[in-house]
Amino acid sequence: QQQVKQSPQSLIVQKGGISIINCAYENTAFDYFPWYQQFPGKGPALLIAIRPDVSEKKEGRFTISFNKSAKQFSLHIMDSQPGDSATYFCAASSGTGANNLFFGTGTRLTVIP
Amino acid sequence: KAGVTQTPRYLIKTRGQQVTLSCSPISGHRSVSWYQQTPGQGLQFLFEYFSETQRNKGNFPGRFSGRQFSNSRSEMNVSTLELGDSALYLCASSLERLSEQFFGPGTRLTVL
């Protein structure tokens, strides 16, 4: 059972465009939602994270939007660059004593020059 | 500050063998978690260690085990390897439990 559902599976965006990746969850105990970026042959790198007490968090070109009532969150990459081409994973965890992250299935982003 | 290091980076084993993977967390980090990444199942949590104790375990068979040492370094062991154990094994460290997790580059295990 996939605890975090991620879409789309792959995404192609023109340079300078906006990349949007969506995730949804069911477990209302989740209270930490990070996004990871992974390049081939590398481990996932923490990109940005949000907690449910805010609806949006922005760091540079990366923004997380969070909708608690809909149990959805999304990553927006503004002014997408070829160097952003990677696989992106959303994740969620619960702060009730468990430190394990539940990951989405990943989105392979390709930014065309 | 150095990141999470994992050794070896690549490993080839045959079915039935056992393997031990090593993880050195970021200096000062006390929690270490292990994940398995495969094309079919994605990233799945294996277990978490904190203060040399296993705090949480994912849905994997008992062939998968681990431990943590007093310096927070961790090892995971897989016994009686199966073809399906071929995967990228990732270690993540965090300062404390429930804080941000930082991943190492992983160990690519191939079982023949």
B interface with A, Cβ–Cβ < 8 A, is 4, 31, 33, 35, 42-45, 48, 50, 55-56, 58, 90, 92, 94, 97-98, 100-106
| Contact flag B48-A100 (C-beta cutoff 8 Å) | yes
> Per-residue confidence at A96, pLDDT binned at 50, 70, 90?
low
> Per-residue confidence at B2, pLDDT binned at 50, 70, 90?
confident
DSSP symbol at B61: -
Render pLDDT for B36-93 as a digit per residue (tens, 0 to 9): 999 988 999 999 999 999 988 999 999 999 999 999 999 999 999 999 999 999 999 9
Contacts of B32 by beta carbon, 8 Å cutoff, 6+ apart: B23, B25, B48, B49, B50, B68, B72, B73, B74, B91, B92, B93
Residue A97 has pLDDT above 60, yes or no: no
Backbone phi and psi for residue A87, each to the nearest 5 degrees, phi listed first = -100, 130
Residue B96: what pLDDT? Answer: 80
Residue A106 near residue B40 (C-beta atoms within 8 A): no
Residue A78 CB neighbour total at 10 angstroms: 13
> Per-residue confidence at B112, pLDDT binned at 50, 70, 90?
very high
Q: In chain A, helix, strand, coil percent, each to 5?
A: 5, 55, 40
Distance from C-alpha of B36 to C-alpha of B44, rounded to nearest angstrom:
5
Find which of B21, B59, B103, B108 to mutate to test the A interface (most A CBs within 10 Å of its CB): B103
What is the SS3 assignment for B83? helix
Distance from C-alpha of B108 to C-alpha of A36, rounded to nearest angstrom:
19
Confirm or reject contact between A100 and chain B (CB < 8 A): yes
